Structure 1
Amino acid sequence: MSIQDYQLNYLKVRVETASPGELTLILYEEFCKKLMISKNLLSKGLVDEMRIQVFKAKDILNELIITLNMDYDISKNLYELYWYYNNRLANFLISKDVAVLDEVLEFGQSMVDTWKLAIQSLKPGDSL
């Protein structure tokens, strides 16, 4: 079994056993991973491969959008943020401006950090 197969198996088990809050964290982590890969591919001049990773990151934002419960004000705010960064990624695909990609990556990393804190602050038996 290759390293990639082990990584996919690990992620599969992690997703299958995760709480809803942990699933959201996984999405944010994968979002950041796709952006880091995109940045690396762009630096190597592999534009087509970079585009694939950016589209995967956009897919994650779309998944986050469709799972929002719009009964809460925070969901409306998140909806606006997700759309903003989805549009920034579209701008990046056109401009190839690494500063734009860094801006989106900074957002993603802040969401990972925030979500980790939220999960850690839960009492046993609580869920997000």
Structure 2
Amino acid sequence: MVGMNYQHQQQYLKTKVETASPGVLTLLLYEEMYRKLKMAKINFLNNQVVEMLECIGRARSIMYELLGTLNYDYDISKNLQSLYQFYLAQLNEFVINRQPETLDSIIEFAKEFAETWKQAIQLVKSSKGS
């Protein structure tokens, strides 16, 4: 029965991603990055190094995906590029030095971006509805 529930969740997620707008896809990336970083922190605190590094690797992959999707026709893309590169460097710093404050600042960044992006999508939706 658990396997069926997992299959339904995976199908739901697949459909959600396939039908999402670019803005919603970006939100999903930010939310997943935040989730992976939180899991990395839990793994770090539990001394589960392999699992922690897997989560960090997935968060890093998301940041590279976000970098790859920047549209440089907009000035903000240069700022976002700098931010992503900074936090990628911070992730590397954390992997090397294992300072929890470093990971905490990256988690906060991911959380704030997810929340901000969610608010932006809601604003766009509400302005289209009026």
Q: TM-score, normalised by structure 2?
A: 0.90
1:84 matched to which residue of 2? 86
| Alpha-carbon RMSD | 1.4
**Normalized per residue, which structure has more helix?**
2
Structure 2 counterpart of 1:39, one-letter code: K
Identity percentage over the alignment?
A: 45
1:44 matched to which residue of 2? 46
Partner of residue 17 from structure 2, selected from 7, 15, 18: 15
Question: 1:95, CA displacement in angstroms?
Answer: 1.1
Secondary structure of 2:73 counterpart: coil
The ranges of structure 1 where at least 4 consecutive aligned residues each deviate by more than 4 angstroms after the TM superposition are none
Question: 1:24, CA displacement in angstroms?
Answer: 0.2
In the aligned structure 1, how far is the partner of 2:97 from the partner of 2:4? 36
In the aligned structure 2, how far is the partner of 1:21 from the partner of 1:50? 29
Matched, 1:124 2:104: no
Structure 2 unmatched ranges of 5 or more: none
Larger Rg: 2
Structure 1 unmatched ranges of 5 or more: none
Of structures 1 and 2, the one scoring higher in RCO (CA 8 A, sep 6+) is: 1
Q: TM-score, normalised by structure 1?
A: 0.91
Structure 1 counterpart of 2:35, one-letter code: K
